[in-house]
């Protein structure tokens, strides 16, 4: 993925691809998210940094944390951690 961007609905797209999608057949200033159909505006897209920190082997135990975010926000938090 090249220069990933996240939408308000939480979906991540390649910057050149989402730009092309937003500019295609431009009749309005926004398009619907291809995955959930929420409105996507160019100025709402935020930078994303993707890290892969650990390599796992077969038999390793992996702990997952449930991440949540409100529909109107791009901030994500652990569901069981108080801020």
CATH code given to domain 4-51+59-78? 3.30.40
The full set of domain ranges for the chain reads 4-51+59-78
Q: What is the model's pLDDT at position 1?
A: 57
Is it the case that residue 75 has pLDDT exceeding 90? no
Q: Are 31 and 21 in contact (CB under 8 A)?
A: yes
Distance CA 45, CA 25 (A): 19
Higher pLDDT, 41 or 25: 41
Q: What is the model's pLDDT at position 74?
A: 67
Q: Are 11 and 33 in contact (CB under 8 A)?
A: yes
Note the pTM of the prediction, 2 decimals. 0.61
Beta-carbon contacts of residue 76 (< 8 Å; ≥ 6 apart): 10, 67, 68, 69
Is it the case that residue 83 has pLDDT exceeding 60? no
Q: What is the model's pLDDT at position 52?
A: 72
Q: What is the model's pLDDT at position 65?
A: 80
Distance CA 34, CA 12 (A): 11
**DSSP secondary structure code for residue 16 in this structure:** H
């Amino acid at each position: 993925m090249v220069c990933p961007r996240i939408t308000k609905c939480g979906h991540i797209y390649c910057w050149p691809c989402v730009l092309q999608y937003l500019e295609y057949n431009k009749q309005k200033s926004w398009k619907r998210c291809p995955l959930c159909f929420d409105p996507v505006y160019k100025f709402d897209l935020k930078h994303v940094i993707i890290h892969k920190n650990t390599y796992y082997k077969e038999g390793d135990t992996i702990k997952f944390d449930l991440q949540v975010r409100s529909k109107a926000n791009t901030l994500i938090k652990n569901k069981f951690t108080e801020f």
